[in-house]
Amino acid sequence: MEDFENTYIGKLWYILLSDDKRSFNEYFSEEHGITLNDDITDAQICFLCKVMMRLNHTKLIQVDSIRVYQSEVDHFKEAYTLLETTMVSSK
């Protein structure tokens, strides 16, 4: 299992709530009366943060940059898995 700090949600939390110390669940519940489901996607939490947290330009750039970075990491993992599968099946 991946460390929280290395997940998209962990990176997003560090940028937006690390000074506040609340979780996204606590923040959205206390500030907006919203309860987040456990199966919320990265895209959904990103959208909520952008719309409801009134992020300044700098924070928006930081949030968008981790989405791009995470996407690149995911593509690398997929390519590596495909390569491993190909190598195993060719033996």
Look at residue 5 and tell me whether its pLDDT is greater than 80.
Answer: no
Look at residue 27 and tell me whether its pLDDT is greater than 90.
Answer: yes
Query: Which tens digit of pLDDT belongs to each residue from 66-80?
Result: 876 566 556 566 666
> Packing angle between helix 57-89 and helix 8-16, nearest 10 degrees?
160
Percent of the chain predicted with pLDDT > 70: 75
CA pair distance 36, 19, nearest whole angstrom: 21
CA pair distance 90, 67, nearest whole angstrom: 35
